[in-house]
Amino acid sequence: MDDIFQQAVDLSHPIGPDMPVYPGTDQPCLTHIAQIPSDGFQEKKILITSHTGTHLDAPAHILQGAKTLDLLPINRFYGTGICIGLKFLPGKFIEMEDLMPFKQQIHGNDFLLLNTGWSKYWGRKRYFRDYPVLSPAAADWLIQFDLKGVGMDTVSADLMNSHDYPIHKAFLGQDRLIIENLTNLDLLGAQRFLFVCFPLPLQDADGSPVRAVALLNDQRQK
């Protein structure tokens, strides 16, 4: 494995009690239930929601009766990936025309990561306001590709004030995963990598925090 992959890039935000969470969501709670001086070992009780931090959405997150994470095979959570740079778009929406120049790069990969640069606002109120999202037309255009999932460095695939969640429904309705709150996308460049986003093995899960990682090979560092 070391001969193939020379660098692992962590694309996940750390989870802690003071981290940003989606408005209205409970903060994570990490409580000591045993400590070494009194018990001889240390253990914590961890209370988090299924969409805490860097996480993925299952179809059941939005669609009644759709698949939960435990109904998806394990190979749905890893595969080849490509990251495209979209930092300098003038508007709030990522349009189909913004994606079309990357058509050849997207084709043949399992995951598409959208680098909007928004992770720089992580920990600030701005993170939850006016972040860029795919337009419905752009999402429909991406559905034509045989992607396992689409990831982004924003809090949601839909606008904060959305009530019908059209982008979530477009992807999840086709059993395509959505990975939100990614970070460190600047470190990936424009080359292919192995993307991994394994969820916790939760029963009936509508989503799960993930340790999203990109594995780069030596050719991508030269």
| Residue 4, pLDDT score | 61
CATH of the domain at 54: 3.50.30.50
101 falls within a domain = yes
Domain carrying residue 214: 7-16+50-221
42 falls within a domain = no
Distance CA 117, CA 90 (A): 13
**Per-state percent for the chain, helix, strand, coil, to nearest 5:** 25, 25, 50
25 falls within a domain = no
| Residue 44, pLDDT score | 94
22 falls within a domain = no
**151, two tokens:** 């990831």
pLDDT tens for the chain, 222 residues: list them. Answer: 445 667 999 999 999 999 999 999 999 999 999 999 999 999 999 999 999 999 999 999 999 999 999 999 999 999 999 999 998 876 789 999 999 999 999 999 999 999 999 999 999 999 999 999 999 999 999 999 999 999 999 999 999 999 999 999 999 999 999 999 999 999 998 889 999 999 999 999 999 999 999 999 865 444
139, with CB counted inside 10 A (0-12, 13-18, 19+), is: buried
27 falls within a domain = no
| Residue 1, pLDDT score | 44
33 falls within a domain = no
- Strands 207-209, 78-85: pairing is unpaired
102 falls within a domain = yes
Total domains in the fold of the chain: 1
40 falls within a domain = no
| Residue 3, pLDDT score | 53
